[in-house]
Amino acid sequence: MKIGIVGLPNAGKSTLFNALTRAGAETAVYPFTTVDENVAVVEVPDPRLAAVAETVGASPMVPETIEFHDIAGLVRGAAQGEGLGNRFLAAIRETDAICHVVRAHSDEGVPHPQGSVDPEADIEAVEAELILADLEQAEARLARVEKQAGPGDDEAVAERDWLRDVVEALGAGGAARNVPPPHAARAAPERLQALTSKPVLYVANIDEAADEVPAAIAAHAARTGAAAVAIPARVEAELAELEVDEAAEMRAELEISESGLERLIRSAYELLGLVTFFTAHEGAEARARSLPRGGTAWDAAGRVHSDIQAGFVRAEVIPWRDLVDAGGYAAARNRGVLRTEGRDYVVADGDVITIRH
């Protein structure tokens, strides 16, 4: 799962990226993996994993990870498709969600590309490029679908009507995400691949003193169906350089909640619309894995290993809380809270699953 970090130049993207990278390097069970200099693989904190691991005597713990990509190169006119601009848009197209860093600190030592700090204007400047790129794509697609649409092709008619609505929304400065397709054209968004249909998390890059999402950003997020968190990126990057106990002391002094980056990572993970399931056995690893919401026991088996999926017999399933309350698998079985499910079982968030194969 890939999250793209976007924002105006100097918004604090690389600073946030560095904080994430170092935090990852500090806590990772496995050596930190750098795919390249602009990709951070970050563990998703989940306290349920430790509870499950402890209950069944599993070790080590292997959290789920997500990738953050520092996507540089937003310039005005990116949507016109010149050089860097094209690369910027192509890089965003490959992500599953967007983490939009918005400058909300007032350090005069950091030049602002638009002259003054104005979070709402900054958001709009970035999103205007995405909207323009989508508009061009949607109009091209509409021209094609209009030729197909006619009596007897209900899907093309529905797609045409949806595309007209999308073009209208984009033209008015809105996002494709806010135009749900009718049932008959439910595959249309997949074909359009709009940048503005990706879920968005705004990261307000705040002064160390503040700790709330500034009102302008919170309001914008609420209006557009996006999420928002506030992070003092520079302080987090500096804290990530310190030893763990030094950093804790500094956090206490600065009155920064421990969980700034964790909250960011969790919010980003939630944005992806996934559920988490666990696998854990005594003397073996305890592992958290993600699955698209609505995924089945069969899909879960495939996430564990293709051989296990191929040999799928049944799944033994228990909500993590029930397992922890029972104190282990044997006790859970005695209590009758360990269920046997078939391949079509829809996995619930927090299930602990053993695939018999």
Ligand X SMILES: Nc1nc2c(ncn2[C@@H]2O[C@H](COP(=O)(O)OP(=O)(O)O)[C@@H](O)[C@H]2O)c(=O)[nH]1
Residue 105 binds which entry of Mg ion, ligand X, none, CB below 5-8 Å type-dependent: ligand X
Taking the least distance from each CB to ligand X, the nearer of 14 and 196 is 14
- Of 2, 10, 270, 357, the residue at the interface with ligand X (CB under 6 A) is 10
Residue 309 binds which entry of ligand X, Mg ion, none, CB below 5-8 Å type-dependent: none
**E-strand spans in 21-178?**
39-43, 61-62, 65-70, 97-104
Residue 304 one-letter amino acid: V
Contact 171, 150 (CB under 8 A): no
Please report whether residue 7 would count as binding ligand X according to CB under 6 A. Answer: yes
Separation between Cα atoms, residue 146 and residue 141, nearest integer Å: 9
Binding mask of the shown chain, residues 190 to 209, with x at each position contacting ligand X by CB under 6 A: ---------------x----
Please report whether residue 100 would count as binding ligand X according to CB under 6 A. Answer: no
Separation between Cα atoms, residue 130 and residue 134, nearest integer Å: 6
Contact 204, 231 (CB under 8 A): yes
Window 225-244: residues binding ligand X (CB under 6 A): 232-234
Residue 110 binds which entry of Mg ion, ligand X, none, CB below 5-8 Å type-dependent: ligand X
Please report whether residue 22 would count as binding ligand X according to CB under 6 A. Answer: no
Contact residues: Mg ion, CB under 5 A: 13-14
Q: Is 30 exposed, middle or buried (0-12, 13-18, 19+ CB in 10 A)?
A: exposed
- What are the beta bridge partners of residue 274? 292
Please report whether residue 289 would count as binding ligand X according to CB under 6 A. Answer: no
Helix (H) or strand (E) holding 20: helix 13-27
Please report whether residue 21 would count as binding ligand X according to CB under 6 A. Answer: no
Please report whether residue 55 would count as binding ligand X according to CB under 6 A. Answer: no
SS3 content of the chain, % helix, strand, coil (to 5): 45, 20, 35
Residue 297 one-letter amino acid: A
- Of 3, 4, 6, 11, the residue at the interface with ligand X (CB under 6 A) is 11
Q: Which residue has the tokens 């969790």?
A: 266
Separation between Cα atoms, residue 63 and residue 66, nearest integer Å: 10
Taking the least distance from each CB to ligand X, the nearer of 61 and 230 is 230
Separation between Cα atoms, residue 319 and residue 48, nearest integer Å: 11
Rounded to the nearest angstrom, the gap between the alpha carbon of residue 275 and the centroid of all alpha carbons in its chain is 12
Taking the least distance from each CB to ligand X, the nearer of 139 and 207 is 207
Binding mask of the shown chain, residues 102 to 141, with x at each position contacting ligand X by CB under 6 A: ---x-x--x-------------------------------
Residue 66 binds which entry of Mg ion, ligand X, none, CB below 5-8 Å type-dependent: none
Residue 289 binds which entry of ligand X, Mg ion, none, CB below 5-8 Å type-dependent: none
> For 189, what's the count of Cα atoms within 13 Å in the CB-facing half-sphere?
16
Q: CB under 6 A: which stretch of 3-11, 54-62, 123-131, 159-167 binds ligand X?
A: 3-11
Separation between Cα atoms, residue 322 and residue 52, nearest integer Å: 10
To ligand X, the closest distance from the beta carbon of 237 in angstroms equals 8
Q: CB under 6 A: which stretch of 8-16, 75-83, 175-183, 292-300 binds ligand X?
A: 8-16
To ligand X, the closest distance from the beta carbon of 110 in angstroms equals 4
